[in-house]
């Protein structure tokens, strides 16, 4: 039987771990579910917890491998592991991300947040594209906080809504925000005052850019962004209203989804327009 392989980054806790658990329960078509994390000890501990809880379901399908999304060497080691053991990946869920607590602000915060939430997503995706199976699906976990309507400046907002934005322009905009925070003129540059929100705006922009690039290259790959909701995790904090099980619903739905929509945004298991606020 041909193996069907799914990879979930940042899955030792929170939504990522819940996605892995839900895949094992509800997506038997994936006979290899690979969970990853930066910290090997925590990742293996999470794998053992899931295997104990789902002893009759996991049944050898669950695999753990270390992966640091901002370390290109780690990504290359993971790519080689995939190639040697599974040949190709059917679905990649880019879940790994960070958010600083409270009112953390400043150039270092902005750079670190964008480094993980944008560049890490890009590094992993680019690094694994050679082992993505044709007809496969890349699912980027972003946020409703990253909807383009959140950008206060119309000219800046329209750059993200444009169907002609390039990768180079996206990266320039990321650097523009960081410089704006460092120089305390981010308002004048048209940005909102949340490093997390801007990082997710950029991740949504990357989803659209990547979709166009893949089409231009003739790759038969879908790429979609999605919001899991406001979920009570270490990242979102105790005030969030959703459970991690609820947060896993949309990514798992998209992992199983066979429709050909690509370059789109999904929320509450439904496709939304990019220029929608709510």
Active site residues: 196
Helices (H), 144-241: 154-161, 167-182, 195-217
Q: For residues 19 and 23, what is the distance between their CA atoms, to the nearest angstrom?
A: 6
Q: Is 7:34 a contact under the CB 8 Å cutoff? A: yes
Contact 58, 24 (CB under 8 A): yes
> What backbone phi and psi angles, to 5 degrees, belong to 266?
-125, 145
Torsion of CA 162, 165, 171, 172, to 10 degrees: -80
Handedness of CA 104, 168, 163, 133 (dihedral sign): negative
- Torsions phi, psi of 67, nearest 5? -155, 115
- The angle subtended at Cα 261 by Cα 258 and Cα 266, nearest 5°, is 95
């Amino acid at each position: 039987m041909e193996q069907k392989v799914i990879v979930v980054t940042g899955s030792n806790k929170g939504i990522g771990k819940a996605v892995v658990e839900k895949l094992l329960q509800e997506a038997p078509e994936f006979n290899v579910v690979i969970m990853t994390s930066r910290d090997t000890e925590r990742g293996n501990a999470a794998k053992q917890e899931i295997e104990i809880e789902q002893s009759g379901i996991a049944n050898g399908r669950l695999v753990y491998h270390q992966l640091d999304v901002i370390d290109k060497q780690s990504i290359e080691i993971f790519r080689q592991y995939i190639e040697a053991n599974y040949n190709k990946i059917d679905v990649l869920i880019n879940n790994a991300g960070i958010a600083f607590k409270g009112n953390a602000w400043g150039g270092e915060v902005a750079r670190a947040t964008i480094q993980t939430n944008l560049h890490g997503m890009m590094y992993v995706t680019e690094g694994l594209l050679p082992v993505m199976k044709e007809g496969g699906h890349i699912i980027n976990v972003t946020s409703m906080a990253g909807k383009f309507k959140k950008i206060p400046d119309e000219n800046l907002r329209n750059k993200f809504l444009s169907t002609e934005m390039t990768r180079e322009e996206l990266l320039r905009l990321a650097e523009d925000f960081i410089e704006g925070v460092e120089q305390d003129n981010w308002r004048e540059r048209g940005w909102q005052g949340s490093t997390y929100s801007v990082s997710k705006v950029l991740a949504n922009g990357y989803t659209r850019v990547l979709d166009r690039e893949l089409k231009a290259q003739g790759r038969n790959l879908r790429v979609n962004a999605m919001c899991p909701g406001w979920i009570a995790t270490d990242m979102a904090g105790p005030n969030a209203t959703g459970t991690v099980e609820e947060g896993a619903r949309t990514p798992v739905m998209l992992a199983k989804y066979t429709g050909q929509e690509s370059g789109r945004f999904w929320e509450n298991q439904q496709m939304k327009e990019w220029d929608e606020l709510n």
